[in-house]
Amino acid sequence: PYSINNGFWFAHMGWMLRDYPAAEPNFKNAPDLLNDKLVMFQHKYYVPMVIAVHVGILVPIGWAVGDMWGVLLLGGLMRLILSHHVTFFINSLCHMWGSRPYTDENTARDNFWLAIATWGEGYHNYHHIFQYDYRNGVKWWQYDPTKWLIWTCSKLGLAKNLRRIPSFNIKKAELAMRFKYAEQDLAVYGHNVNDDIVQVKSRIAQEYDAFTQTLNDWAK
């Protein structure tokens, strides 16, 4: 619904203003949430809880520093504005800038800088091809504190049934994209360089077919 093909503004938040100006909650993609008592409690009492948290935290801080309105504006309103727009960047910037190491069948991209700002969600290309993995950054060096939090909660008994894509499937997607990028590079940089380029492209195609067959055999 937030296709970047309709422009940055549409993907960022225009799709909500146009298509869902006063939408009712839709749980069709997550019907299990209807049976989660904690989630339903939050859903039912969201507004009172927001007011209570802001009054309970921001008002004492504002009183302590002698600037009630300043704390409410910065800690309340400004915090929400920044939080929402950084979240919206996943739908907009993460479909414009970054790399596509796993698939190019959609516009999602991995973006390290947005991963920093969104607690790991910036590794969006991975998320779009492997949606049900609880991780976004699957490399050991990738910044994904959300993944670390969920894993820690699982060790404490607060989360269960964590789903992970097998490393074999991840590597298969990576290698398939490397073959595709190699073909694209040959088309751009190897064009009209010499007569061997056709043979090279044919060899890459043969190697890719053999690679795919081998992966299928291993999977079986």
DSSP result, 37-48: HHHHHHHHTHHH
pLDDT of residue 33: 87
Residue 54 maps to a domain: no
Domain presence at residue 80? no
pLDDT score of 208: 73
| pTM of the entire predicted model | 0.76
Summarised one tens digit per residue, pLDDT across range 153-202 is 999 999 999 999 998 899 889 988 988 888 777 777 665 545 555 666 67
**pLDDT at 78 exceeding the cut of 70:** yes
- Please check whether residue 203 lies inside any domain of the structure: yes
pLDDT for the residue numbered 190: 60
Q: Is residue 184 part of a domain?
A: yes
Residue span of the structural domain in which 174 resides: 167-219
Nearest-angstrom CA–CA distance, 17 and 24: 14
Query: What is the predicted pLDDT for the residue at 109?
Result: 96
Q: What is the mean pLDDT of residues 44-63?
A: 92
Does a structural domain hold residue 197? Answer: yes
What's the total number of domains in the chain? 1
State the Cα angle at 115 between 113 and 120, rounded to 5°: 165
Residue 11 is assigned to a structural domain of this protein: no
